[in-house]
Amino acid sequence: MVNSVIAGLTSGGGYALLGLCVVLTYRLVAVVNFALTAVGALGAFVMVSLTDRGVNALLALLAGVVFAAALSALLGAALVRWFAGHKEGTKAAVTVAIFVALTAVGVRLFGGNSTGAHRFPNPFGAPLFTVGDVVVPQSVPVSLAFALLITVAVGLLLTRTRIGLKLQALSERPGTAEVVGIPAPRLAVGVWAGVGAVTTMVVVLVAPRLGGDFSTLSGLISTALAVAMVGAFRSLPLTLAGGLILGCLEGLSSSLDAIQKYQGVVPFLVILVLLWWRSRREVWDTEHGR
């Protein structure tokens, strides 16, 4: 059981990044992006389709990442162009529709649950070390390091570069940001592209553990949203923690035979618990807050 929980950290690092992508898209361009993992899964499958044909894995990864970045940028541009003035709910609904459409296309092209499991390269599958009965696979530190690296890079980008400051300004006061000459549409498309690229890498990272069929990977959106909710769609550190927790919970549930079948329900349970918890606190706040 401890083994499963530890192995779950591999996914946890990835989930943390998925949550990060959701939170960043929400904070920087004010869209709850349900299409995130569908786009990432398409990118990942572009990659495996190429490796299946004997293309070098790194080259294939690059192609997948570029493809997903471009697709994501296109979606972002469409939202900016046609839905700029609309409510958050409307934009979220649009991304849900895109999720459904992309998942349908992906399953059609790459097969569903039973037929479509592809072999994703798993370069970090070997054990790193073993303590007693506990095995720590290489993928755990790789995944955690990757999550940390991306988070730190995003943090530096946002606080240390002119573009990052403009993104922060845009996030805080979109109207005023435009008034001072910040090119909101261009920056938004950039955010979408970056998020698409990172998501593809994450999907490739977690695919070997999850079985590697399109609908499972595209369905990671429920995990991503649960993680983002742990961070309340704001806090990056809490989001990271949320990713690790979800990874471990998933590892745990996969090790217990009785509940293994319901593993997919974990993110929804987390979302429900968080909703309940937050609403409880709100009641508390309004009763005792002033």
Partner 1 sequence: MEAPALALEGVAVDRAEVPVVHDVALEAARGEVTVVLGANGAGKTTLMDGIAGLAQVKSGTVRLAGTAVEKLAPYKRARAGLGYVEQARTTFRTLTVEQNLLVSQRGDGDLATVYRLFPELDKRRGLQAGHLSGGEQQMVVLGRALVSAPKVVLIDEMSLGLAPLVVRRLMTTVGELAGMGIAVVLIEQFANLALDVGTSAHVLRKGRIVFSGPCAELRGDERRLHRLYFGGAPSAGGPRSDGAEPGGATPPAAESEAR
Query: Closest distance between partner 1 and the C-beta of residue 180, in Å?
Result: 4
Query: Closest distance between partner 1 and the C-beta of residue 243, in Å?
Result: 24
What sign for the dihedral angle of Cα 112, 116, 122, 127?
Answer: positive
Taking the C-alpha atoms of residue 210 and residue 41, their distance in angstroms, rounded to an integer, is 12
By C-beta, is 157 or 178 nearer to partner 1? 178
Write the DSSP assignment of 231-257 as a string of letters: TTTT-HHHHHHHHHHHHHHHHHHHH-H
User: Residue 224: which residues within 8 A CB-CB, separation 6 or more?
Assistant: 15, 18, 19, 21, 22, 36, 37
Size of the site for partner 1 (CB under 8 A): 18
List the interface residues with partner 1, window 107-136 (CB under 8 A): none
By C-beta, is 102 or 158 nearer to partner 1? 158
Query: Closest distance between partner 1 and the C-beta of residue 81, in Å?
Result: 11
What sign for the dihedral angle of Cα 233, 238, 244, 250?
Answer: negative
By C-beta, is 132 or 237 nearer to partner 1? 237
Q: If DSSP codes are grouped into helix, strand and coil, which group holds residue 1?
A: coil
Query: Does residue 288 interact with partner 1 by CB under 8 A?
Result: no
Taking the C-alpha atoms of residue 111 and residue 266, their distance in angstroms, rounded to an integer, is 24
Query: Closest distance between partner 1 and the C-beta of residue 171, in Å?
Result: 9
CB–CB of 206/199 below 8 Å? Answer: no
List the interface residues with partner 1, window 178-207 (CB under 8 A): 178-185
Query: Closest distance between partner 1 and the C-beta of residue 76, in Å?
Result: 16
By C-beta, is 173 or 278 nearer to partner 1? 173
Taking the C-alpha atoms of residue 203 and residue 177, their distance in angstroms, rounded to an integer, is 33
Site string for partner 1, 139-178 (x = CB under 8 A): -----------------------x--xx-xx--xx-xxxx
Query: Closest distance between partner 1 and the C-beta of residue 186, in Å?
Result: 9
The footprint of partner 1 (CB under 8 A) covers 162, 165-166, 168-169, 172-173, 175-185
